[in-house]
Structure 1
Amino acid sequence: MTAIRHGRHRFLAAAILPGLALYAVFVLSPYAQAFYLALTDWSGVSGQVDYVGLANFRQLLSDPLFLAALRNNALMLLVVPAATIALGLLLATLVNFGGRGGSTMLSAVRGGEFYKTAYFFPQLLSLPIIAVLWQFVYHPNEGLLNGVLRAVGLDALARTWLGDPRLALWAVMAVLVWSSVGFYMVLFSAAMESIPRDVLEAAVLDGAGRLDTLRRVILPLVRDNVQVAFVYLGVLALDGFAVVQIMTVGPGGPDGSTEVIGLGLYRNAFTYGKFGYAAAMGVALFLLTLALAVVTMRAGRREPVELS
C-alpha cells in the first residue's frame, strides 16, 4: 500500500509540477517584474535601471491625467456593471418567465432560444471590431445614430457623441454595456433554468405574483451568478483600454474626458518611454482590481440556499 501511495504521489507531482512551473514563469514572473520595475525609472530600452523607490507612486498622486483616469474608471465601475447586470437580469427574466402559459404562469416565451442567440451575437465579435463598428455608428454626419434621429424628426437630439466632453465617456460605456449584456443574459438565463419548477409552483400556490416571485425566489437563487458577473464586469470597467484607444479622439479625449488608467499606462510606456512609471500605473490598477474582487466576494458572502 505504501508503494502504491508513493507511486500515486509521484504521478500527481509529474502531472501538476510542469503546469505550475509554466504558470510561475509566464504569469507570476511578469507580475514580480512589474512590481520591481514600478520602483525604478527604467526607460524600456537601455540596460540601466535606477532604483527610485516610491517616487513613481508619489507622482501618480499629483498627475492630473492619472487622477482624471481614476475618476473616469470609478464612474465606469459604477455604471457598467450595474447597467449590464440589470439589463441581463431583465432580458433573462423576460425570456424564461415572460410567457403566458404554464401551470406556474412563469413559462418561457415562444422563440426564447432565438432571442438568446440574437442577444449573444456580439460575443462573437472581438472588442476592437465592436469599437470600430460603433465608431461609425457615432459618426456625427454619416453615423447610424444621428441618421435615425434625423429620419424620425429628432434633429435636435443629434450630437457629436465622441466629440462632446459631456457625452464621450457615456458613449463609450454604452458600447461596453451593449457588448457584454448578451453574455450575462445567457448566464443568468442558464441559472434561472436550473431553478426547480416545484419551487416556482409553490411560490405561485402561496399567492406570489410575477414580481414577488422574481424578487423573493428567483433573484436570491441567482445571487451567486450576479456576484461573479459583478467581479468580471468590474474588471472590464477598470480596463476599458481597447474601446477608448480605438473610438475616442486623442485617444482619451476630448479634454481627457475618456482617459482611463490602461490608456495612460500604454502611452507612458510606448510613447514616452517611461516604463517604470507605466509599471507603477499597472501595479495601481492591479491593486484596485484585487480590492474590487475581494470586497465583492466578501460582501456577497452568505449561507448557501438549500432547496429541499
Structure 2
Amino acid sequence: MAVFLGVPLVIYLVFVISPFAQAVYYSLTSWSGFNNKMPFIGLENYVKLFQDNIFMIAVRNSIILAVFLPVITVILSLILATLVTIGGSSRGQIKGLRGAGFYRIISFFPYVIPAVVIGIIWGRIYDPSAGLLNGILTGVGLDGFDSYPWLGDSRTAMVASMVVIVWGFVGFYMILFIAAIKGIPAETYEAARIDGAGRFRTAISITIPLIRDNIQTAYIYMGILALDAFVYMSVLNSGGGPENSTLVISQKLFTTAFNKGQFGLACAMGVVLAGLTLIFSALVFLVNRLTGGSKDVSE
C-alpha cells in the first residue's frame, strides 16, 4: 500500500510541487536567467509588479477573460448539447435533433485544430482590408465596417479575441456535456414530459442538476485556460493589442523573461498567475457548494 501511495506522491512532489517552490524562490531574487547569480531581494519584485501600470492592465484583462469566457462557453455548450441529445421532437422517443451526429462532428472540428492555426485563420477573417468578416458586413450594406480594424481597435480587440477562443472550445465542452447527458436515464425525461415540463424547465430542473459536477469541471478548466490564453492572444495580437487592451499576464511574463532577461520578475508574475488560478478554482468550488452542489439530487 505504501508503494502504491508513495510513488505517485513522490512523482507529484518532484514534478509539480518542486518546480512551483523553485519559482517562488526565484521570484524573490533578481535572477537574470542566464547565469547562476541569484541575489536575494525579498518582495521587491512583487512591489514592482503592483506598481507597474502595464502589468495591472494585464491582470485586469486576464480577470475579464476568466469572468466571461467560462460563462459564455459553458452556456453555449450546454445549449448545443441539449439540442443534440434531447432537443428533438416533443412526441415519441426522447432524442436529439435530426442529424445530431453531423452536428457533433462539425462542432468538435475546431478543437482538433492547433491554437496557432486558429489564431492565424481568425486573423485573416478579421483582416481590415481583405477579411471575410468585413466583406460580409459591407456586402449586406453596412458600409461603416469597410476596412474596420477589429483587432486594431481597443473597443473591439478583446471581444474579437474572446470570440476566437469560444469558437475553439465550445465544441469540446459540447461533447463533454453530451456524454454526461447520455448518462441520464431516458425515463427521467419521460416523467418530466408527462408532468408537462417544457424544454427550458427540463433543462433547469433535470439536466443541469444531474450533470452539475461535469459543469463545474468544465468551468474550472475553461477558467484556467482563460487566465492563460497565451497562444491565442500572442497570435492575434503579439504586442498586446491597441493600448494593451488584449495583453494578458502570460504575455507580459514571456516578454519580461525572454526579451528583457528579468527571470526573477517573470517568476513573480507566474506566482501571481498561479495565485489567481487557485483563487478562481476555490471560488468555483465555494459557489457550487453554497448553491447546493454537494447535495444529492435525489434528496
Paired residues for 1:12-51 under 5 Å: 13=3, 17-51=6-40
Q: CA deviation at 1:107?
A: 2.3
Q: 1:212 aligns with which of 197, 201, 215?
A: 201
Q: CA deviation at 1:195?
A: 1.1
- Root mean square deviation of aligned Cα: 1.8
Higher mean C-alpha deviation, range 275-284 or range 142-151 = 142-151
Deviation by residue 1:206-228 (Cα, 9 ceiling, x = unmatched): 12122211221112112211111
Deviation by residue 1:209-255 (Cα, 9 ceiling, x = unmatched): 2221122111211221111111011101111111111111x510211
Amino acid at match of 2:31: W
Partner of 2:296: 305
Partner of 2:254: 266
Q: CA deviation at 1:78?
A: 1.6
How far apart are the structure 2 equivalents of 1:56 and 1:177? 34
Higher mean C-alpha deviation, range 298-307 or range 107-116 = 298-307
Amino acid at match of 1:232: Y
Partner of 2:145: 157
How far apart are the structure 1 equivalents of 2:152 and 2:247? 13
- Aligned CA distance change for structure 1 residues 214 and 306 (closer, same or farther; 3 Å): closer
2:281 equivalent to 1:293: yes
How far apart are the structure 2 equivalents of 1:61 and 1:101? 56
Higher mean C-alpha deviation, range 233-242 or range 201-210 = 201-210
Conserved? CA contact 1:103–1:201, under 8 Å:
no
Partner of 1:81: 70
How far apart are the structure 2 equivalents of 1:22 and 1:276? 26
Paired residues for 1:206-285 under 5 Å: 206-248=195-237, 250-285=238-273
- Residue 300 of structure 1 aligns to a residue whose secondary structure is helix
2:44 equivalent to 1:55: yes
2:132 equivalent to 1:141: no
Larger Rg: 1
Partner of 1:190: 179
Partner of 2:56: 67
Query: Structure 1: which 5+ residue stretches go unaligned?
Result: 1-8
Conserved? CA contact 1:123–1:179, under 8 Å:
yes
TM-score for both structures, normalised by structure 1: 0.90
Conserved? CA contact 2:288–2:294, under 8 Å:
no
Amino acid at match of 2:99: G
Partner of 1:171: 160
Conserved? CA contact 1:60–1:66, under 8 Å:
yes
